[in-house]
Structures are given as C-alpha cells and as structure tokens.
C-alpha cells in the first residue's frame, strides 16, 4: 500500500466521503412524515386575526368548492399575472 502523505490524505477524504454518503442514504429512505389528525391554529393566522378581526369574522353561507368556469379561470389568470 502507498504510504505517502498525499495517499493518506486521499484515503482519509475517501472514507469521509463514504461516511457522508451513508448518512444521506438513511435520511432518504426514512419515508414521508406521518400526517393526520387535528392540529393547532398556525401562529401567523392567530396574530393576523388579533390585529385584523374584521378579516377573520367572515363566515360565508356556501362553503362548497367553486365550479371552474371560463370567467373564473380568466379571473384567476389575471390575479396571478
């Protein structure tokens, strides 16, 4: 085996690289985060409603999803432009 200082550094770097690569593979194979169940209100929404209560007291009667029409699609495009 080569024992020059450069060869030792190269071997050390290779081992360090393998160690980092091994850590990344375990994180990638961990799978997605478990979700479900009730959660608490986001703090940003809570703060917003405390400072702007009129914006948070709106309770529409029809909570069904909107039906996508040509006019609604054009309105969405104009808002997002």
pLDDT digits (tens, 9 = 90+) for 33-72: 888 888 898 999 999 999 999 999 888 888 888 899 999 9
Q: Dump pLDDT digits (tens) for 20-43.
A: 777 666 666 677 888 888 889 899
DSSP letters of the chain?
A: ---SHHHHHHHHHHHHHHHHHHHHHHHHTT-PPP--S--PPPHHHHHHHHH-HHHH----S--SPPPP-HHHHHHHHHHH-
The total domain count for the chain is 1
What range defines the domain where residue 72 resides?
5-80
Would you call 49 exposed, middle or buried from its count of C-beta atoms within 10 A (0-12, 13-18, 19+)?
middle
The predicted model scores a pTM of 0.35
Return the residue matching tokens 């997605």: 32
């Amino acid at each position: 085996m080569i024992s020059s200082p450069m060869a030792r550094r190269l071997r050390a770097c290779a081992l360090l690289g393998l160690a980092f690569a091994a850590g990344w593979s375990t994180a990638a194979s961990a799978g997605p985060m478990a979700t479900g169940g009730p959660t608490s209100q986001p703090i940003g929404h809570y703060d917003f409603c405390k400072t702007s209560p009129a914006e948070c007291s709106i309770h529409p009667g029809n909570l069904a999803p909107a039906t996508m029409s040509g006019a609604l699609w054009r309105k969405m495009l104009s808002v997002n432009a």
